[in-house]
Amino acid sequence: MPYLLAGSYYYGMNSWPLFISVFLACAVEAVEATTIVLAAGTARDWKSALQGTSSAFVLLAVIIAAIGPSISSLPIDSLRLFVGTLLLVFGLQWVRKAILRSSGYKALHDEEAIFQEELAAARKAKEGKRFGVADWYAFTLSFKGVLLEGLEVVFIVLTFGTIQHNVGVASLGALIAVVIVVIAGVALRKPLARVPENTMKYIVGVMLTSFGIFWGAEGAGVKWPHTDAALLVIVPFVLLISSAMILLLKSMKSHEALVLESSSALESHAVDFDELDSEAILDDRGLWKLAKDFGYFWYDFLIGDDIIGFGIVIAGLEATNILVHSGHNGWWAMPLAVTILLPVNLLRVIRK
């Protein structure tokens, strides 16, 4: 702990944006994982649910040990390009869904409702004992929730921390977020419905997108005006674009409400890939089902339902690279790509 605090002091102001970004992002993931474990333990068997949670933590530790050194050994420009691309795709998904929620085109994320759904599914599931675990369903439900949400935490900590040369501060932010959420969940024995998760997701989405623009462009060879201080412009820029889209979509929603017979017809416009399927991943199909779900997780994590957005991000980075190699410092290419991407994707989604 003294080492981490000393590292935070040494890096000064650069540590606080890193800490806050990691803390908020990891808090969101921890809330979702805690909700699933609470449902499994409350409806089924606490011992089995905790065994599943512990097993997921062990596997996450193995993954960190396996990929951590590989990430830290990558050339910094390649790492910035790789991480910047992933953060842009991932962050824009969060921003897009937050805009849809704020404008009324998508239901707000409700942990209480999710908890009740998981609880009902857990109570209906068949009982079964396997490999010495008293309740296999409770075990696998907790294992899946903690593993998948934990993978996102690991990704955020390793990538943010490595690029900022401060894995200690990133780890500290994640640890504090997880500890606070878990303690609150255990104390209340119910989902953290009062946590402003929708607002947190919007803020984190804006920050991830901003860091993605900054690092992705740097990895493509851009030299940002005023170096790191450019983030002080990029973050408000992303916030401004997204806020403008919220106002536009709210106006469109109000207009549509006047001509549609029922507002329920609008619910079909947005597709939600946020929630975890409550089906246990280690069912009778065994490892094949596990591998399939694991592959789907990474596809949803990196691309989700936004293949067009993924394509625009790649095109923007390629355009940036071409500009740099032709002798132009095309720092403006990625902000322009995001300015195009958000309206195109949002209008495409609501018109389905």
Among all chains, which residue has been given the structure tokens 């869904």? Answer: 97
pTM > 0.85: no
- pLDDT top residue among 134 and 154: 154
- What is the sign of the dihedral through the CA atoms of 217, 221, 224 and 228? positive
Residue 36 has what pLDDT? Answer: 84
Q: What are phi and psi of 276, to 5 degrees?
A: -85, 140
What proportions of the chain, in percent to the nearest 5, are helix, strand and coil?
A: 80, 0, 20
pLDDT value at 89 more than 60: yes
* Residue partners of 151: CB distance under 8 A and separation at least 6: 60, 63, 297, 301
* Residue partners of 122: CB distance under 8 A and separation at least 6: 39, 40, 43, 44, 137, 138, 141, 278
- pLDDT top residue among 335 and 278: 335
From 63-67, 97-101, 253-257, 336-340, the region with the lowest mean pLDDT? 253-257
Q: How far is CA 344 from CA 97, 206, 257, in A?
A: 14, 17, 22
pLDDT value at 222 more than 50: yes
Task: Categorize the per-residue pLDDT at 102 as very low, low, confident or very high, splitting at 50, 70 and 90.
Answer: confident
Tally the domains of the chain: 1
CA 147 to chain CA centroid, Å, is 14
Q: Express each pLDDT in 24-33 by its tens digit.
A: 888 888 888 8
Residue 120 has what pLDDT? Answer: 63
- pLDDT top residue among 188 and 181: 181
Domain interval for residue 153 = 2-350
